[in-house]
Structure 1
Amino acid sequence: MIVFRYLSREVLVTLSAVSAVLLVIIMSGRFIKYLAQAAQGMLDPGVLFLIMGYRLPGFLQLILPLGLFLGILLAYGRLYLESEMTVLSATGMSQQRLLGMTLMPAALIAVLVAWLSLSLAPQGVTQVSQIINQQDALTEFDTLVPGRFQNLRDGSRVTYTEQLSDDRSKLAGVFISEKRLSQDKSKDRGISVLVAEKGRQEVQADGNRYLILENGYRYDGNPGQADYRAIKYDTYGVLLPKPEVSQEVTEREAIPTSELIGSTGLRERAELQWRLSLPLLVFIVTLMAVPLSRVNPRQGRFLKLLPAILLYMAYLTILIAARGALEKGKLPIGLGLWPVHGLFLLIGLGLMFWEPLRLKRASRRAEVARG
């Protein structure tokens, strides 16, 4: 029991450290993407951390299996390097018994991954989709940030305001540049530039919103040509797009697992098999990691790390490719993703029993040579 607690602690501590590093790297990249969208006025900066929180289960369901795999390699590699595994082997610790002890914390991680993939991750994707739909329903006025030029309407409009009131109802120092397109949007008719001392938002009785600009100029023309038309105005109204909130969530990752079970569609059935594959992935990578962690102290603990990572990436890549083939109907849905798991299960069993067999044969040859 003492040895079990010691080994479990080593694996779980290393797993936590590796997973934390991977999580920071992945979330940083995704956060930069959302931050760029917020800078362009496509997202409200106030919802960025909320979106990242809802995406966290989806990240963890993929990070934890890799973290466990690397945790076993690094933790056991250190024990082999410091000859602690040699001492345990001398007391009767076989490779199979070591695997049995390692499968106990692996089972805990598998249960956590199953909870994430079957329940929390779909709920998180649903919440993110709803937030994105609500952000799409915001008017251009709602996403303005004072002191910053923002691309709106897919880059066809650039808006700037020097000051914005706390209730977002009044502006000061307004600049708007918008491309003028033909009715079929196939021809560029130049640009229109609006500048105003101040502006305000006005909601009509029919629900339409207008940005009312006061004391300014409008310039129409083509860049590089001297035929600009300047119009001075006291009051000018700009129609803001009417928000349309869509509550529909179409991403298959957001479909609850209970609905996937009874579904007959290829994409839905492939998604269900993917969610079930992630907990199974935990046990198979554990089977592969235990023999791969065995290193010679003279060779260093990182000798097998790169080949092991390549093996894991091959496993995950083939699994993702098989998922795509299932969605397109290129693989029988009844066959599913299970042949991929079976292949790497055989690889793990081969790694587990190859080294003991090799050592036993070498011992026999040495005995024959001495005899």
Structure 2
Amino acid sequence: MIVFRYLSRELLMTLSAVSAVLLVIIMSGRFIKYLAQAAQGALDPGVLFLIMGFRIPGFLQLILPLGLFLGILLAYGRLYLDSEMTVLSATGMSQQRLLGYTLVPATLVALLVAWLSMGLAPQGVAQVARILNEQDALTEFDTLVPGRFQAMKNGSRVTYVQDMSKDRGELGGIFISDKSLSRDGSKERGITLLLAEKGRQQVQADGSRYLILENGYRYDGNPGKADYRAIQYDTYGVLLQRPEVSSDISEREAIPTRELFGSEDPRHEAELQWRLSIPLLVFIVTLLAVPLSRVNPRQGRFLKLLPAILLYMAYLALLIAARGALDKGKIPLSLGLWWVHGVFFVIGLVLLYWEPLRLKWAGRRAARGVIHG
């Protein structure tokens, strides 16, 4: 029991550290993506941390299996390097017994991953989709930030306001640059510049909204040509475009797991098998990691780290490829993703029993040599 607690503590501490680092790295990349959209006016900056919070369960469901895999390699690798595993082996600690000890904390991780995969992650995705849909309903007016140039319509329109009232009802010091067809109807791109002292929003009966500019100028022309037209106006209306928010979330990821059971849609079946595969992934990577963590102290603890990571990447990549093939109907639903787990389960068994069998065969050959000698 003391050995079990010691191994579990070492494994869980390493798992927590590795998972925390991986979570920070992944969240930083996604946060930068959303932050860029907020800077362009496509997202309200106030919802950034809310979106990231709802995405955490989806990140963790894939981070924890990898964190467990690396945790076993690093924690047990250190024990081999410090000859602690050699002492444990001398007291009867076999690879099978070590695997049994490791499966206990791995089961806790698998249960947590199952909860995330089948419960929290779909709920989080649904909330993120709701927030992004609300952002899609916003207009350029709702996302304007005073003192900042904001690009809209894929960069074809740039808007700037000097100041804005707290209720966003009144704008001051307005500049709008909008690319459009030239006045002579050719395909050459022109540009329209709008300047105004102040502006306000106006909602039409059909739901469309306009920015009503007052006391300003409009300039039309083509860059590089001296044919600009200047118009002074008292009132001018500009149609407010809705910002385009890019999202990597599919609708089926937000479907509750209970609704996926019994569905005849192949895409829903693929999603269900994917959610069930992630907890199963935890047990398979545990079977792979325990024999891969065995290192020779003279070789260093990182000798097998790169091959092990490549094996894990091949496992996950094959799962994702099989999921895509299942979506397209190229793989029967009965076969699904389970054959991928079966292949790597067999690989894990080979790795687990290869070293004992090799030593056993070497011992037999040595015994024959002694007898013949």
Shared fold (TM-score, shorter chain, > 0.5): yes
2:310 is aligned to: 310
On the 8 A contact 1:209/1:242 being kept in 2, the answer is no
Partners of 1:336 and 1:207 lie apart in 2 by 47
1:246 is aligned to: none
- 1:364 Cα shift? 3.0
- 1:240 Cα shift? 2.6
Provide the secondary structure at the position in 1 that maps to 2:269. helix
1:106 is aligned to: 106
Matched, 1:148 2:148: yes
**In the TM superposition, what are the counterparts of 1:10-89 in structure 2 within 5 Å?**
10-89=10-89
- 1:41 Cα shift? 0.9
The TM-score normalised by the length of structure 2 is 0.93
Structure 1 regions of 5+ residues with no counterpart? 244-248
- The alignment of Structure 1 onto Structure 2 pairs a total of residues equal to 364
Q: Deviations over 1:300-342 (max 9, x none)?
A: 1011111111111111111111111111111111111111110
Partners of 1:220 and 1:54 lie apart in 2 by 45
- 1:153 Cα shift? 2.3
- 1:177 Cα shift? 1.1
Give, as a single letter, the amino acid of the residue that structure 1 aligns with 2:115: W
Provide the secondary structure at the position in 1 that maps to 2:264. coil
Provide the secondary structure at the position in 1 that maps to 2:42. coil
**In the TM superposition, what are the counterparts of 1:247-262 in structure 2 within 5 Å?**
251-262=251-262
Q: Deviations over 1:201-242 (max 9, x none)?
A: 234566543322222111111121111111112222223358
1:162 is aligned to: 162
- 1:148 Cα shift? 1.3
Provide the secondary structure at the position in 1 that maps to 2:358. helix
Q: Indicate the RMSD between aligned Cα atoms, in angstroms.
A: 1.9
Q: Deviations over 1:231-260 (max 9, x none)?
A: 1122222233589xxxxx961111111111
Give, as a single letter, the amino acid of the residue that structure 1 aligns with 2:22: L
On the 8 A contact 1:174/1:199 being kept in 2, the answer is yes
Partners of 1:121 and 1:331 lie apart in 2 by 26
**In the TM superposition, what are the counterparts of 1:112-131 in structure 2 within 5 Å?**
112-131=112-131
1:334 is aligned to: 334
Q: Deviations over 1:274-297 (max 9, x none)?
A: 110001100000001000000111
**4+ runs of 1 displaced by more than 6 Å?**
none
The TM-score normalised by the length of structure 1 is 0.93
Partners of 1:84 and 1:178 lie apart in 2 by 70
Deviates more, 1:163-172 or 1:291-300: 163-172
Partners of 1:348 and 1:79 lie apart in 2 by 21
Give, as a single letter, the amino acid of the residue that structure 2 aligns with 1:117: S
On the 8 A contact 1:201/1:209 being kept in 2, the answer is yes
Give the direction of change, closer, same or farther, for the CA distance of 1:359–1:148 in structure 2 (3 Å limit).
same
